[in-house]
Amino acid sequence: MPGAGKLPATVCRLLVPMILFAMLGACIPLPPRNELARWVPSRNHELRKPVLIVIHHTEEDSVEESLHTLRSRNSHGPVSAHYLIGRDGTRYQLVADNERAWHAGAGSWHGLTDINSISIGIELDNNGIDPFPVAQIDSLLVLIEDLCNRHRIAPGQIIGHADLAPSRKVDPSRQFPWKRLAEAGFGLWPGDLDSEVPSGFDPWLALRLIGYSLDDRPATVRAFHLHFRGTENTELDDEDLRILHALTATILDTAHH
């Protein structure tokens, strides 16, 4: 007779796999299901697909301070980003790529307003005044290349927070090296500026074609200048017309191919 409290060996062999299966099942979250409806799963679905990368600066003084802000409720409410890159190039991921982080807020790009749902947010540890260290930008380029390759994000679909929210934001600051990103194949940058701007060229239509909202035109011009000229002026000049003409030519050429 088996000793008291012991189970037969055959029973143990049956129970062990069942227990392990139950333990594994407890660790794997089930897909959300509504108890009010019968579950009839379809394979015709997919996870959120980001199509845009938005770059920010933290406007704080350290990675530690930024990590705290991005993971807690601060004075302006909870905010987050998918990634934070330190000044030494260290990358931190706070939100999965296929989940919606709270980094963009109110704004629009190409007429789309729920930017958080279609974008990946990258914060750079920077106080908004200092230049961005080489190591930090090198690290950013590695991350951007990875994100564009894995999620098939078009290389031109990389913008700053100010581009989508010109009335509210100025990040990343005018110190950000957009030209360097363009030289690596990412973001928009004007090509040949020697081409003559045709008579009747409409700079506002060009800004809209690039993606900007025209709801607040002086703010939009300031955002455009931050990105393409490293200034914060709010009026267009002849150099802007040359830049806008070159940008629209680049966009239209890309569309044709």
Token pair belonging to 211 = 């993606």
The active-site residue out of 123, 145, 183, 235 is 123
Q: Which of 188, 228, 210, 4 is nearest to 108 (CA)?
A: 210
Pairing type for strands 52-57 and 73-74 reads unpaired
- Tokens at 138, concatenated: 């090198």
C-alpha dihedral (109, 221, 197, 251), degrees to nearest 10: -20
Structure tokens at 198: 């045709």
Q: How far apart are CA 138 and CA 161, in angstroms?
A: 20
Q: Give yes or no: 123 in active site.
A: yes
| d(C-alpha 213, C-alpha 34), whole Å | 39
Catalytic residues: 123
